[in-house]
Amino acid sequence: MGAFVGLIAGIGLLLIWRSGPRARQRQAAGPGWGTRRNDLIRQAGISSVSSVQLLGLQVFAAVLAGLVVQLVTATVAVAACFAVFAFVGPLAVVRRLRQRRQVALRELWPEAIDNLASAVRAGMSLPEGVSGLGVRGPEPLRPAFVRFGVSYRASGRFAECLSALKSDLADPVGDRVCETLRVAREVGGSDLGTVLRTLSELLRVDARTRAELETRQGWTVSAARLAVAAPWIVLLLLGSQSSTLRTFDSSGGVLLLGIGAAVCLVAYRIMMRIGRLPEEPRVLR
């Protein structure tokens, strides 16, 4: 009897332990540093530069800016600060190019969808209509659709060619369009024209809304950039007074520059979060 009670108690304790919280499953690792930078470069519309080349350009800009500021001010601490700014500069330019490209393509997608809807109403199949955008679509989008047409005629696999098109476009709105076309192809039916017209209208409304919000909040972004840049421009202009700048080579001067850089960075990030709309996420599949 005692053994039976012990067995029941052991089973009960085992069940209680098994019903407790489990260890969190390890989340799938996100894209690596090089993958993210390559994706950023492709979204900016730059096809001839890799992430390694961009890193080399950043290092070259940092070294060049550090040497120039060192020659002008004869202050190592100030030269190091501007070398850091120059290192971030090429990456900021790429991000700016990405933003401009996304804004430009956002205005073109409704026209491309209208052309596709017209092709479908004329009796063309969905793959033929998508391939036709390489001829009738907006000019900046034509090369990607031409490559889609060549790939589809060679393989006949719409889903795989659509994934390649999405990767080639490297655009958040293009991701949404490609996934909508994928679903429309898989589901089929006679409502494809309605789906395309609805998609075109939604893209127009989204583009109009984002453009209005970006215009209204643009002054906040500009003010943040000016507020961060102004103290460092004044510091660089003090290069004519070498005796003043040499004080920054002391431990107190280095500490002051570090605190100033940290405050500027925190203030800039806060202002950018307040004044900038969130970036449109990529649709991965």
pLDDT number for residue 20: 55
What is the tens place of the pLDDT at every residue in 10-51? 676 666 666 655 545 444 445 577 778 888 888 888 878 888
pLDDT number for residue 59: 93
Secondary structure (3-state) at 50: coil
Secondary structure (3-state) at 100: helix
pLDDT number for residue 225: 76
pLDDT number for residue 7: 62
pLDDT number for residue 23: 45
pLDDT number for residue 26: 47
* Residue in 166, 183, 128 with CA at minimum distance from that of residue 43: 166
What is the tens place of the pLDDT at every residue in 141-163? 899 999 999 998 888 888 889 88
Q: What is the DSSP letter of 37?
A: H
Contacts of 280 (CB under 8 A, 6+ apart): 102, 172, 173
* Residue in 168, 162, 160, 169 with CA at minimum distance from that of residue 108: 169
pLDDT number for residue 212: 82
Say if CB 57 and CB 37 are below 8 A apart: no
Name the residue ranges covered by the structural domains of the chain: 40-275
pLDDT number for residue 227: 77
Task: Report how far residue 259's alpha carbon sits from residue 122's, in angstroms, rounded to the nearest whole number.
Answer: 65
pLDDT number for residue 147: 92
* Residue in 168, 178, 182 with CA at minimum distance from that of residue 140: 168
pLDDT number for residue 44: 86
Angle (nearest 5°) at CA 215 between 212 and 218: 145
pLDDT number for residue 285: 55
Residues of the chain short of pLDDT 70, as ranges, are 1-10, 12-31, 188-190, 239-246, 249, 271-285
Angle (nearest 5°) at CA 276 between 270 and 279: 115
Task: Report how far residue 170's alpha carbon sits from residue 140's, in angstroms, rounded to the nearest whole number.
Answer: 13
